[in-house]
Amino acid sequence: MYAIKKVKGAALGIPAGLAIGVIVCLLVTLAGAALTAWLVTSETIGEEGLGYAVMMILVLASCIGALTAVCLTKRMRLQVSMLTGGVYYLALLAITALLFGGQYQGMGVCAIMVLIGCALVAFLPVKNGRLRPGRKKAYR
């Protein structure tokens, strides 16, 4: 059966969607780092749990940023989510070089965590820019 797909709403261009997605990634990373620092200083979690918290922050930040970019661009989900993760990883590398003098430790694990978060979004069932699918249409 032939169906005509109508574009509803305004979609952003891919560069704008990527930029907004990476900004969201960095903001979620900053908020997660602040929350983790507060949890460590209040002795809720120990310093040995810091690595697990960082891995969760990276997956969550890349997932939320890629989802934002995909929902804003409304096309090419796999490519947009992976590009968002790649630009986010490059931003993390640049921040490491700028602020920490280029002490690259654990960057392979960081890349894997970002890839996992973006892959979750790439294969998550999103329809019409929303997470929950719409109603099923009854054909008569």
Per the document, the length of the chain is 140
Tell me the β-bridge partners of 130.
Answer: 127
User: Residue 3: its pLDDT value, please?
Assistant: 58
Q: What is the pLDDT of residues 86-118, one digit of tens each?
A: 999 999 999 989 988 878 888 889 999 999 999
Q: Which residues of 28-64 are buried (b: 16+ CB within 10 A; e: fewer)?
A: bbeebeeebeeeeeeeeeeeeeeeebbbebbbbbbbb
User: Residue 10: its pLDDT value, please?
Assistant: 75
- Measured between alpha carbons, how far is 121 from 20 in angstroms, rounded to an integer? 16
pLDDT beneath 70: ranges in the chain: 1-9, 126-137, 140
- Measured between alpha carbons, how far is 140 from 120 in angstroms, rounded to an integer? 36
Q: Are 56 and 35 in contact (CB under 8 A)?
A: no
Round the average pLDDT of the chain to a whole number and report it.
Answer: 85
- Measured between alpha carbons, how far is 41 from 20 in angstroms, rounded to an integer? 32
Backbone angles phi, psi at 129, to 5 degrees: 80, 5
- Measured between alpha carbons, how far is 15 from 33 in angstroms, rounded to an integer? 27
Whole-prediction pTM: 0.80
Backbone angles phi, psi at 130, to 5 degrees: -120, 155
Percent of the chain with pLDDT over 90: 52
User: Residue 8: its pLDDT value, please?
Assistant: 60
User: Residue 133: its pLDDT value, please?
Assistant: 56
User: Residue 136: its pLDDT value, please?
Assistant: 67
